[in-house]
Chain A
Amino acid sequence: MNFVGIDMGSTCSKLVALNEAKEIVYKEVVPTGWNCVETAETLLSHLEAQGIPKDAFRSVATGYGRVSIPFADKCITEISCHGKGAVAIFDEPDFTLIDIGGQDTKVIEIKGGSVKNFYMNDKCSAGTGRFLEIMAGTLGVDLNKLCELGRQSQNHVSISSMCTVFAESEVISLIGRGTDKADIAYGIVESIANKVKSQMGRVSSDPAHLRLSGGLCEVPFLLELLSEKLGGEVKTDPLARYAGAYGAALFASELK
């Protein structure tokens, strides 16, 4: 029997498959696209190609598209799944987990190995991965390039608007004024870090135990800026991008 976790986010879908010993035997990331049900079928066919046919696994779905995965045995929210996955990945019981996702940013307080409190942004996209994507688009670069540009900034500028739409106008007027692209990029990444900082204030957190999960954990400059703003090193792990899917797979292994 295998245990499968699927984290269907607004931008990317992550899958983790475990064996009986709860070791990861397969993992992948695919774009969610516009049709969650089709994406779910694609994932299912990939699993089959890996020798994990439909009747040989139990699964838990999470993420905003969790209800669109017809073969999942159970749906559990991304808060609980990220928490569970992160506890296993970082192998510690008490820390604050920051997850910057496509459409929302979560701050999750973990105590004794389980979720004790959490905070999530509301329907506004400020401070999310989507915000970074839109801003990168405005500057005509991709997300990774945006962050690398930011690192090269000589004269920091700040983007003060919290709202994505207003922030975009702010960026456009900076472009119009001839501000250096790298400086604007810095302002954009910094605004994300500032937003996370204000969200952190809503849960109790220890700056010595900060962890990042989600798609942006592979962006080093964001980690650096976050650490600087939050007053403690924000650590991550190559697996952290899969925290939600991994947690879901672990939940699947506990299903009766």
Chain B
Amino acid sequence: MAKEYHPENPELAEILDSFKNSRELGTMAVKSAHEAGKVIIGSFCQYAPMEIINAPGFCNFSLCGLNYDPPVPLAETKLPANLCPLIKSSYGNVLGDYCPFAHYADLVVGETTCDGKKKMYEMLAEMKPMYVIHLPNNPDWERSLEAWRDELEKFRKELETRFNVTITDDDLRRTIKISNEERRQQARIYELGKFDPPAITGMQMRSVMSSVYYLIDKEEKVQKMTHMVDLLEEAWREGKGPYKPDEHPPRILISGAAIEGVKEKTLEIIEDLGGAIVCYEGCCGISNMRRPIDETKDPMTALAEKYLDVPCAVMSPNQRRYDQFRDTLDEWKIDGVISVTVHSCLPFGIESHTLGKICEEKGVPFMHLLTDYSPGDEGQMRTRIEAFMEMLH
């Protein structure tokens, strides 16, 4: 069964409880931001830098679709069925007006990450005001950085003109400082998984991560996360973590993308079967959080450097991801890696092969689960996860 926190720590239980329903939190957050007259930006990947969006006080909400029904079947009336479910779900949510974030968005910002998204943005532009940032794919070239810095500068100007605001370097320095602190605290949440036994479960990591996203007031967000991690560390020291002090569950690293949309049939089952997810790698994983923005440099250059350095699978070559993956295996003392990717997510699907090779080299068991938002493969997913856990024992 999924691990719950000890009830004798009411403060911790309350904080964790407050993070349980991220969808509701998000809906309330976007409504109140809209009612307060704030500019609302809908975005997809982190390559749309939140520091630039937040600098003039705009709010940023993710439009990544995480559910199957109703958006996916609706999207399939226009998009190819064999497209990644995240892209279909995101598009279907706008098409059917199911998504409160897209509904209130004054501007939707996309970036040229994967082919499916790029082409979907062209169709999204028929329904919403759309701006696409051009992301270079080779992170090692000097000219990629120059082009990327220019693109970000263009994006900053776009926001200034479109909404009649000024974004100063000082505004950027302020948002950079707070977002660095935010990433530091998010990294600490994943670092709770380094404890033996872990001081947090993998499912708790997910619900906290997806909920804190909707705390619009960044100062409050950082404060709340810091306090929560402190409490979790304290509970662990008192032997009151989610696992008994002498429990040593197999330590699992989850790698991949779009996992939020398939967590019930993958992550939840892993932990139900006695595995402990101690860290996440890939989209929304540790890689971004461990890459702070240089606060001493010119802010636009520092932003460009940071985001070009984020090793999403759309980058090629993507040595940065493999290096960090190797380090994560050691640092978190990983017993097994499960790569979770969704159908037609080609960049992450292909890189999964290299991750498998690294694991083989390091003697860490590895499994690739390929799934979809659509139901019907829960039984097969369970059998594979169960067999993998049996193999680890």
Q: Which of these binds chain B: A85-93, A117-125, A149-157, A171-179?
A: A117-125
- On chain B, the number of residues with a Cβ less than 8 Å from chain A's Cβ atoms is 15
Q: A111-131 interface mask toward B, CB cutoff 8 Å, 1 = contact, 0 = none?
A: 000111110101100000000
Distance from B284 Cβ to chain A, minimum over Cβ atoms (Å): 23
- State which of A64, A80, A122 has its C-beta within 8 Å of the C-beta of B387: A80
Q: Please state if A118 and B387 are interface contacts (CB–CB under 8 Å).
A: yes
Distance from A10 Cβ to chain B, minimum over Cβ atoms (Å): 10
Q: Given that A76-B390, A116-B391 are contacting pairs, would A122 and B371 also be in contact in the complex, using a CB cutoff of 8 Å?
A: yes
Q: Please state if A64 and B384 are interface contacts (CB–CB under 8 Å).
A: no
Q: Please state if A120 and B384 are interface contacts (CB–CB under 8 Å).
A: yes
Inside 8 A of B370's CB, which chain A residues have their CB?
122
Q: Please state if B391 and A64 are interface contacts (CB–CB under 8 Å).
A: no
Distance from A200 Cβ to chain B, minimum over Cβ atoms (Å): 15
Q: Which of these binds chain A: B30-38, B106-114, B131-139, B373-381?
A: B373-381
Inside 8 A of B366's CB, which chain A residues have their CB?
117
**Is residue B335 within 8 Å, beta carbon to beta carbon, of the partner chain?**
no
**Is residue B383 within 8 Å, beta carbon to beta carbon, of the partner chain?**
yes
Q: Please state if A77 and B390 are interface contacts (CB–CB under 8 Å).
A: yes
Please indicate which of the listed interface residues B365, B366, B379, B390 has the most CB atoms of chain A within 10 Å of its own CB: B390
**Is residue B140 within 8 Å, beta carbon to beta carbon, of the partner chain?**
no
Inside 8 A of B376's CB, which chain A residues have their CB?
123
A77 to B380 alpha-carbon distance, docked (Å): 11
Q: Given that A77-B390, A79-B387, A80-B390 are contacting pairs, would A123 and B380 also be in contact in the complex, using a CB cutoff of 8 Å?
A: yes
Q: B257-272 interface mask toward A, CB cutoff 8 Å, 1 = contact, 0 = none?
A: 0000000000000000
A252 to B346 alpha-carbon distance, docked (Å): 42
Q: B336-373 interface mask toward A, CB cutoff 8 Å, 1 = contact, 0 = none?
A: 00000000000000000000000010000110001100
A116 to B391 alpha-carbon distance, docked (Å): 7
Q: Given that A122-B370, A122-B371 are contacting pairs, would A115 and B380 also be in contact in the complex, using a CB cutoff of 8 Å?
A: no
Distance from A93 Cβ to chain B, minimum over Cβ atoms (Å): 16
A85 to B380 alpha-carbon distance, docked (Å): 21
**Is residue B386 within 8 Å, beta carbon to beta carbon, of the partner chain?**
yes
**Cβ < 8 Å to B, chain A residues 77-109:** 77-80, 104
Q: Please state if A122 and B380 are interface contacts (CB–CB under 8 Å).
A: yes
Cβ-closest chain A residue relative to B386: A77
Complex A-B: 22 CB contacts under 8 Å: A64-B379, A76-B390, A77-B387, A77-B390, A78-B383, A79-B391, A80-B387, A80-B390, A80-B391, A104-B380, A116-B365, A116-B391, A117-B365, A117-B366, A118-B387, A118-B391, A120-B384, A122-B371, A122-B377, A123-B376, A123-B377, A123-B380
Extra 13 A-B pairs, beta carbons < 8 Å, given A79-B383, A117-B365, A123-B380 = A64-B379, A64-B383, A77-B386, A78-B387, A79-B384, A79-B390, A79-B391, A80-B390, A116-B391, A118-B387, A118-B391, A122-B370, A204-B360
